Every structure is written in C-alpha cells, then in structure tokens.
A and B are shown apart, each in its own frame.
Chain A
Amino acid sequence: MSSRAFRKRVTAAIADRRVAAAVHHATWHKVGARAAGMRMLRNPERLRELAGQIKQHTLERLPEYLEQFTANVRRNGGQVHFAKDAAEARQLICELARSRGLKLAVKVKSMTTEEVGLNSALEAAGVRVFETDLGEFIVQLDRDRPSHIVTPIIHKDRRQIATAMARELGCQYTEDPAALTMIARKYLRDVFRRCDLGISGVNFGVAETGTICICTNEGNGRMSTTRPRVQVALMGIEKVIPRLSDLAVFLKLLARSSTGQPMGSYTSLISGPRRATDADGPSEFHLVLLDNGRSEILAGPFAEVLRCLRCGACLNACPVYRNIGGHAYHSVYPGPIGSLVTPLLDRRGDHHDLPRASSLCGACRVACPVNIDLPELLVRMRAAGRASQGRLKKLGFFGWLCAMRSERAYRAAQRILQAMLSDDGSGWTTGGVGPLASWTAGRDLLRPAPRSFRQLWQEELREQS
C-alpha cells in the first residue's frame, strides 16, 4: 500500500461520519468497560506483568515448548501438521477436506485463518464455509471485511446489518438486534446440524497437556468443535504457553481486556479428538502449526510483538484507530498491534505509513494485557525504516540538526521562524505552504513569542539572581 493509498483511505475514513460515529461509540464504551473490569482485580498491574513475563519466557524457549506441546497433542490422539506459510496452510487444510470428503465447514472466528485467506481457498476446493461468529457471519454475508480483531462489524450500524441480512437470507427486514441474532441462530443451527468440518484458531496452546484453549461468548466455538466429525485448529507458533495454571493469568486478563467481562461465556479446553467412550465430539483432531513469518520476527528486534493475545484492547484504546477505523490499515491486523505486525508479516508490502501514523500517546501500552511496549516498538520500527522516509524529511532533519547543534544557529533559526510565519494581526498564523499548510489545514498556529524565553532571561530574569 503506497503512502498515497493510505492517505486516501484515511481521508475517506475520517469523512465517513457514520462509521466514525460507530467506532467512536464502541471504542469509548469498551475503554470504560475494560477499566471497570480491571479495577475488580486485586492487582491488575502485577497480573499484566506476569502475563508478559510468561509469554516472554515462552518465546525465549519456543522450540522446547513447541516440542512438548506437539508431543502432547499427539499423545492425546491429535495429528500435528506444520505450515511454513499461508499457502501451505491453505493447501494442508484443503487437502484434509478433500481426502476425507468434507463438504460443509463451520468456522470459529480466527484471525489466523483470516491471515492465510483460508475461506476462499476452501470455497475454491468445493467446501462450503460458514463463519459462525455473528459478526463474522454478517461480514461474510455482506462480502465485507472485518475492521476489528474482536468485534468485526464495529464499523456497521444496525441498518446496514438489517439490509444485508434481508437481502442475503431473504428474511423479514428488522433492525432489532435480538431479532437479527435469532435469524442468524436459526439459519446456522441447521448448518451446525449438518456440518462435517470445524475450523478454529487457538487462543492458547498448553504445552504440558497438549490442550488448546478457545474463548468465545456466543457458543459458536463450542458448536464448531463439538458437532463436526473433523476438527482443525490453525495455531500461530507463538500461541503456546507452558502450564495449564498459566491460563489463570491469561484468562483473568483476556476477556477484561477485550470487553471488560471478568470471563467470557465459554472457555473450551480441548485435548485431542473424542475418546472412545465419549458421548460426542469430533473423531479427528488436527493441529496445524503456522509459521508464516513468525520465526523471522522471533529472530529480529521486534520479537516482543509475538506476545500478543489478539485481545483488541490496544485498538479500543487507540485514538488513531478510533478516528480512521480498521479498514484504513488495509490489513487483517489493524490498530497499534497491526501497525507493527502488518509490516513484519508482509515484508514486501509498502506499509511504512503504519508505524508512523501514531502520536505515540501510549494508551495502547497501558491497555495491553501482556505488557508489550507498543510505542517503543513503533519508534524502533520508524528507525528501522529510516531509509524509506521522504527526502524532504531527511533534508529537514539535517537542517534541523544543524540548527540545534549550536546555540547561535538555534537563535538564528528562531528568528527565521519568526520572520517566516505570517501574522493575521493577532499573533496567529492561519495559512502557509509545506508543513505549515498541513498544520493550518485544521488548526491555527500560534506565532513564536516576540521575545523568546532566552531573551527574557538575558534581559530581565537573570539580573535578579
């Protein structure tokens, strides 16, 4: 995505008052809910620290933990596959469906499957795929894209949803959220009854037990891992954690960070396929371990991003996200974490704008349950991408540095600035060219004071000492 394309998206997003209002409303609400949820904890800061520590510890010993985890998945009767990239992941899962004659897939909301573009590959391979999370279901019906990693239709209001559902499902038009939900329930019930393949991501993979943990509120996660005869879980290699008890730390933080709830409605711990004596459940369990650039990230200076739980708290907290929405990022992963992960996962793409389009306010860092120092990493990424900065900017910083290296040059620069800025007669500048035009497009600019502090000091203040 070129810089111009990014700017165009931003302009369009900010101009779309309907989307902006929806995203503002939702994110402010969630910021408040998160704060309230965290306040209920005895020691929220300590828990964030612990969570970050556990993740960091695991990343530092990732091969060992992955080995333990996969061995235990096998011991539980699961099959483990490895996909080095998105194409391999798609091939693996499509081949699985083909070899077993699976035709109807139900999906639990999963960012990882979005990342590898699984749905279209399966459809092309002749498998009907149904997203079963209500938001994702609506996205799929409306041929839209999710704009948030937890609440995919944060950008849609009920009229848009009602229109899409009436059009695609042929149901009675209604704007009542409860009625719309019941229409989806009824429709998907039938799918759940007939489906033969269940596909999910993984929130946590527990090394010591070979267990995957899936968290949902709607129950679609449970349905999709109970009903079909074959279950596939696509898991990024960074999702492993050492112990089952570590889950206590993460579960206390995850739902709170996402929605403010102390716990989501359903936390499913799945350890392999159904046992011989089980009453129900899938008879095959496949785990697909996905690299897709993660090992490269692990080997570089941004490994910390691999702690991410995909909770969405940094998106909700981010004032940039609040104003431009998720689509402007043009990535599966928007928001602060997306601004880091997108350029890392798609190294050939031109995503230089993403790490730069931030005021570094740090609201994300305060919200992140695994203590990722997002603003610091954004700065580091800006530094790493220095070569791609515009020539004008490089020149600007060169000139600026010259001015700041001596006090005389600095004072001269102050005077030049004074002279350059036009004055509307009351000490303000309201227009100009270059950076000045950027500034004054939406705000006025105070002119430098007639006498700088430095002059004031020389002329008056210093005598008194």
Chain B
Amino acid sequence: MDVALFITCLTDSFFPRAGEAVVRVLRHFGCRVQFPAGQTCCGQPAYNSGFHDEARVLARRMIEIFEPYETIVSPSASCVAMVKQHFAPLLADEPAWRSRAERLAERAHEFATFLVDRLNVDIAGLLRFDEPVTFHYPCHARGIYGAEDLQRWLTRDGQVNLRLPQHVDCCCGFGGMFAVDYPEISTAMLNDKLDLLAATGARLVICNEGGCTLQMAGGARRRGLPLRFKHIAECVADSLGLMKDRP
C-alpha cells in the first residue's frame, strides 16, 4: 500500500525519532512510504486561536499538497482531527474547496488506528517492555480513538505491565497557544496530570501527541520526576527491533 506521511510540525522539529519509527513500522508491514515535500502545518494553532482566515490559507494549501495521495497517515491524532473535523466546516463557504476537504478527510488516518483498522496489526501482541508502562490519552484524539482503544492497544494479558492512571482522560494542559497565553493555568493543569502519572509508579509514559509530550516532558524535567515519554510508533519499532541503529 502506498502511504503519504503527514509528519506535522511538532514531530518534524522536536520528535524526529517518532517520525522515523512511523516510517519503519509502516514499511515493516509492507507499506511504501512517501513524504510530500511541500508539507508544513495543517493550521491547527491558528484555527484554535480563532485566526480562521490564516487557518483557511493553510487548509487549502494542505489539501493541494496531499490530495494526490490515496492514503495519508500521521503520528498525531490532533492534526488528523483538524483535517477530518475542521477543514470542511472551515471551508463551508467555498463549495469546491469544501468537497475537496471532505475527500481528504476520508483519506487521513492516525498512525495507530491505521495499523489496527487498515493493516490489521495486533499492536498489543507486538509490544515488548521490560518495565511497567502507563499512558497519556491526548484530548484531541477524541473522535479519532478513545482512551479505551489506547488501553486495549497496550494491554496483552500477562505481557505488558500497564499501570492505568487515575482519570485516564485528564488533560495535560498543553492546548497550543493556551500554554503560553495562560502559563499559570496551563502549568497547574500540567502538575495535576504529572501527579496522576507519577502515582502509577511507571516511568515510561506512552504519549502519541507531540504537543502533550513537549508539555509533560518539560514539566517532568522541571520537577525532577523520572518520567520518560515515547510515541507508540517508537514502542512498536523498538519491540520489533526496527530502530537498532538509533537508541
């Protein structure tokens, strides 16, 4: 299967290892991965901040770049949600663009759901951890996958020592511009979240969202909490030995 990778700005700049893992895992399961070179941002920061003219410019741009591809996969559920849920309403006044947006929405997939639903991969069956793990459920994945899905992907009887955090869907406080517009609130929310994660006793946190990882890893480091964060693609790639060359 031919797959176009939509890397997203945060993964591109901050978490290239997660992007690499996505590529290697997709290849492992027989996909041919392409990287549409012109891609930048889906416009989510502008959209969420109420800068909708700017968001529209980038939505049209993204449609142009990605519509030649049948299947688009991204490591970020929130950026996929932007494409799937917000592009068409954003372009509602431009019928031609709107229907192009709707077509793109059908072809955009979040990485883990793509593995499970399209490639029929049993993620839980592949994962190998030599320590207890916990996870962060990214709020913007609502409508893409649920916390129960994430939990299911990480659960394999007797194999994965999954420590369920309390209030599994508690927000990390990132929220894009919100994190710098209202840093005190954002940080207070972050500390609540870190407390919940730290209370599980696990040190490895599965987090599939670059923004959330940026937020939580930064908070953990500031507080001296021994938490590490990993995208589920990295976990699969590591378990399959696909990333041997790079730790």
**A and B: direct contact (Cβ < 8 Å)?**
yes
Q: Write the residues of chain A forming the contact surface with B, with a CB cutoff of 8 angstroms.
A: 7, 10-11, 14, 20, 24, 28, 31, 319-320, 322-324, 356-363, 365-366, 379, 381-386, 389, 393, 397-398, 400-401, 403-407, 410, 414, 417, 428, 430, 435, 438-439, 441-446, 448-449, 451-457, 461-462, 464-465
B38 at interface (Cβ–Cβ under 8 A)? yes
- Alpha-carbon distance between A31 and B167 when the two chains are bound, in angstroms: 9
Residue of A nearest to B13 (CB): A448
The 10 nearest A-B residue pairs measured at CB: A359-B175, A382-B50, A442-B187, A361-B171, A443-B218, A361-B139, A453-B19, A453-B16, A383-B50, A323-B188
What residues of A have a CB within 8 angstroms of the CB of B54 in the complex?
397-398, 400-401
**B50→A404 contact, CB < 8 A:** no
Known: A31-B167, A382-B48, A393-B49. 4 other contacts (CB 8 A): A14-B188, A361-B171, A443-B218, A457-B35
**B16→A407 contact, CB < 8 A:** no
The number of A-B residue pairs with CB atoms under 8 Å apart is 199
| Interface SS of B by simple majority | helix
What residues of A have a CB within 8 angstroms of the CB of B61 in the complex?
404-405
In angstroms, how far is the closest chain B Cβ from the Cβ of A332?
21
B47 at interface (Cβ–Cβ under 8 A)? yes
| Chain B 1-50 interface residues, beta-carbon cutoff 8 Å to A | 7, 9, 11-17, 19-20, 23, 27, 32-35, 37-41, 43, 45-50
**A461→B23 contact, CB < 8 A:** yes
B180 at interface (Cβ–Cβ under 8 A)? yes
**A397→B51 contact, CB < 8 A:** yes
In angstroms, how far is the closest chain A Cβ from the Cβ of B54?
5
B190 at interface (Cβ–Cβ under 8 A)? yes
**A366→B189 contact, CB < 8 A:** no
Q: Write the residues of chain B forming the contact surface with A, with a CB cutoff of 8 angstroms.
A: 7, 9, 11-17, 19-20, 23, 27, 32-35, 37-41, 43, 45-52, 54, 57-58, 61, 139-140, 142, 167, 169-171, 173-192, 214-215, 217-219, 221-222
| Interface SS of A by simple majority | helix
If A323-B192, A410-B40 touch, whether A449 touches B185 (CB-CB below 8 Å) is no
What residues of A have a CB within 8 angstroms of the CB of B221 in the complex?
428, 443-444
Residue of B nearest to A388 (CB): B50
If A383-B50, A456-B16 touch, whether A357 touches B222 (CB-CB below 8 Å) is no
What residues of B have a CB within 8 angstroms of the CB of A393 in the complex?
49, 177
- Alpha-carbon distance between A381 and B16 when the two chains are bound, in angstroms: 35
In angstroms, how far is the closest chain B Cβ from the Cβ of A386?
5
- Alpha-carbon distance between A303 and B35 when the two chains are bound, in angstroms: 43
Residue of A nearest to B174 (CB): A359
